[in-house]
Chains A and B, each alone.
Chain A
Amino acid sequence: MNLAHVHLLLNHFPTVAFGVGVGLLIGGIFVKSDELKRASLVILFMTSALTIAVYVSGNDAQAAIRDRADVSAAAMNRHESAALVAFTFMQLTGLAAWLGLWKWRRTSDSGAATRNMTVVLLLSMVTFGVMARAANLGGQIRHSEIQAAQDSSGAEPEPGIARSLAAYVGTHQWVWPLCETLHFVGLSLLLGVVLTVDLRMLGVGKTLSFAALYQLLPLGMLGFTINLVTGMIFFVATPDQYTGFLFFLKMILVVLGAANVLYFMLFDQPWTIGEGDDAPTATKVIAASAIVIWIGVLCCGRLLPFFGNSF
C-alpha cells in the first residue's frame, strides 16, 4: 500500500460527495429549507478540503506508473491539467461555501445569504462539469476501453496548463521567493487567528466573547487561502519534492483543521461563551487540538527537506 493506492481509493470521493452537496443545495433552494442548504455548504466545504489531499496524492500515483509502457504520458498530462482546473474551481466553491456558513451566524440579511447561495450554486455547477472531465481523463490513463484513439500517435505530449505553469515558475526567478514570502505571511495570519481564538477558549483573555472572536475567522481564512494558492504553485512547479508520507500527513492535518473550524462555526457550545465565561471542556479539547493541528502543519512543512524529498 502506498500513496498511489490512496489516490485511487480517494479519487472517486470528490465527484460523489460533491454531487451529493450540489444535489442537497438545489433541493434546499427548491424546498426553501435552510437546514438542507446549510448541510450542502458543509459537504461542499469539506469536500473541497479533502480534495487537497486527493490532488496531492495524484503525484505519487503518477510516480508509480509513469515508466510503464502501457501508460500514456499525454493522458497523464491531460488529466493533471484538467484536475488542476477542477481543483481551482472546487476550492473557489469551498471558499464561497465557507463564507456562506460564516455569514449564517453573522447576519440576518437574507439578501446577502441568497446572493451567496447563488454564487455557490453557479461555482458548484462549473466545478461539477470540470471535475467530471478530470475524472474521465484520469480514467483514460489506465482504462483502455475509454482511451482516446489519438494517444497511440507517439507524438510529444502537449504540456497542458499544469506543466506550462511549472515551466513559467522555473524560468522566472522572482516567482519562487515571492511565493515563499507570501507563504510566511499566510501562515502568520492563520496561526495568529488560531492562537487568539483557541488560547481564549483555553482561558487567555477571558473578556473576549466567542461571538467577538468569530469576527476574526475570515482573517485566518485569508491566511489559509494565501497559503493554498502559493502552496499549489510550489506543488505544481516541483511535484517531485512533494511525494511521500510527510507531505501527505501535512495535507491530512489541513483536512482535520478544516473539520476543526467547522465545530466552532456550526455547534452551539462555543456560542454560549460570553465575556468572562469559562469554555466547556469539549470546546477546550477541540481548541487545544486546533493548535496542535496547525503547529503540526507548520512542522510537517518545515521538516520536508529533513525527512522528505524537498530541498
Chain B
Amino acid sequence: MNVLLKVEQSGFSQWIRASESIVGYTGILLLHKIGIGVVVGISACIGFRILGFAPALRLTGLEKFFPTLWFGFWLNAASGVILLAIDLTKKLGNPDFYVKMAFITAAVVTVRMLKTDAFGHAAVDTEPPSARAKFLALTSLICWLGAIVSGRLLAYLG
C-alpha cells in the first residue's frame, strides 16, 4: 500500500493532477479519448466486415490497418497508465476497474486471434470468413463495448 501511495503522491502524479497546462490531466484524458476512438473504431470496421457488412472490402486491404489499431491501443495503454498512477489507490479499490481491464484483455486477445484466423492464410480474399472468425469478430466488438461501458462507469462507481 505504501508503494501505491508513493506513486500516487509522487511529484509527477501531483503535477499531472494539479497542472493547468494542456499537457497535464486534460491532455492525457484527450489522448485516452482519441486512443479509444482509434482502437475501437478500426476494430469495429474490421469486425463488422468479418460479420458480413461492406462485403466488397478486401481483407488484404483491411489487414494493413492493424498497425493503426495497435497505435490506438498503445496510446490508450500509455495514457491509461498515467491516469491510473495519479489515482492509484482509488482505482485499485474499485471492482469496476478490474472489470474494465478484463474486457480490454479479452478484446485484445480476440483481436489478435481474429488476425490469425481471418487474415493469416492465402485464401483470405477468396473464401468467406469462417464461423470461428465471425464468432471472434462478434466477441471482440462485445468486449470493446464492455470496456467502454465499464470505463465510463469508473467515474460513477466506487
Contacts and interface: CB of A to CB of B under 8 A. Distances in A.
B78 interface: no
A226 B57 CA distance: 24
Interface in B16-74: 22, 26, 29-30, 33-34, 36-38, 40-45, 48, 53-58, 60-65, 68
Contacts of A200: 61
Q: Secondary structure of the A side of the interface?
A: helix
Nearest to B42: A192
A306 interface: yes
Contacts, number: 118
Interface string A174-212: 000100110011011111111110011000111111011
Nearest to B20: A306
Contacts of B56: 209, 211-212, 215
A213 interface: yes
A204 B148 CA distance: 27
B90 interface: no
Q: Size class of A's contact patch?
A: 35 or more
A213 B155 CA distance: 36
Nearest to A306: B26
A303 B54 contact: no
Interface in B144-158: 144-145, 148-149, 151-153, 155-156
A189 to B, nearest CB: 6
A219 interface: yes
A191 B62 CA distance: 15
B41 A208 contact: no
A152 B66 CA distance: 64
B149 A208 contact: no
Nearest to B151: A184
Interface of A: 177, 180-181, 184-185, 187-196, 199-200, 204-209, 211-213, 215-216, 219, 275, 295, 298-299, 302-303, 305-306
27 contacts: A177-B153, A180-B152, A181-B152, A181-B153, A184-B33, A184-B36, A188-B148, A192-B37, A192-B38, A195-B38, A195-B65, A195-B68, A196-B45, A196-B62, A204-B68, A205-B62, A206-B64, A207-B61, A207-B64, A213-B54, A213-B57, A216-B54, A216-B57, A219-B44, A219-B53, A219-B54, A275-B58
